[in-house]
Amino acid sequence: MWLILLSIALVASACDSSEADRLRGELNTARSQAAAAEKAAQESERARQSIAEKLDQMREQLTPSERPGEGLVMSIPLVGRLTWACNDDREFSFTFTPEQATITVEQSIEGEITRRKLDPGEELTSGFGRVDAHREWNVTFRHKPATISAGISVEPAVRAGACFIRTSTLEQNGRLN
């Protein structure tokens, strides 16, 4: 009888040992799978952050930053862009900046006309004027195949102490040279 009990104890401990070994193996497999998943998640997060940074850089390049009291009125491809600013007295100033080539800008504010030829990097900026002043720009870009002309008018406004652009219009045409 004693021998039978000893045999049963040995078989039971052998079963427990093989079951424990199997469970240890499964645990090690699960640990390595979890480590691989954690590494993949970290790589994915780094890639997401890199893409987000690139998108932010592209967004900054595509649109000028706007703060309260200033902003973009419009951008005309190949020609340039018109921006606005508003001071503490709620008066408006406008700046036209050429994009890639020399252009001619005629600025009319309350009938006072300023005409200038602008090269890339130069600007035509108006002085600050009252909100109800009439403002127009005629811009001409002459190049070998064609001439692009744009007429811009802007109506700024102030409401509840905040400056903004109520309306802006663009009339654009081109003709072959």
96 plus 148 within the same structural domain: yes
81 plus 39 within the same structural domain: no
Question: What is the chain's Cα-based Rg?
Answer: 36
Whole-number pLDDT of residue 174:
82
Residue labelled with tokens 């508003």:
86
Instruction: Give CA–CA dist 118/104, Å, rounded.
Output: 6
Q: How many distinct structural domains can be found in the chain?
A: 2
10 plus 77 within the same structural domain: no
Structural domain range at position 96: 70-176
145 plus 161 within the same structural domain: yes
36 plus 92 within the same structural domain: no
Whether 129 and 87 have beta carbons less than 8 Å apart is answered as no
50 plus 75 within the same structural domain: no
Instruction: Give CA–CA dist 147/102, Å, rounded.
Output: 12
CATH number at residue 133: 2.60.40
pTM for the whole structure: 0.61
29 plus 106 within the same structural domain: no
Tokens of 18: 């093989």
* Chain segment 101-140, per-residue pLDDT in tens: 899 999 999 889 999 999 998 999 999 999 999 999 999 9
Residue 10 has pLDDT above 70, yes or no: no
* 80 Cβ neighbours under 8 A, 6+ residues apart: 96, 97, 98, 99, 103, 105, 118, 139
Residue where a domain terminates, one of 62, 93, 114: 62
Element (H, E) at 32: helix 2-62
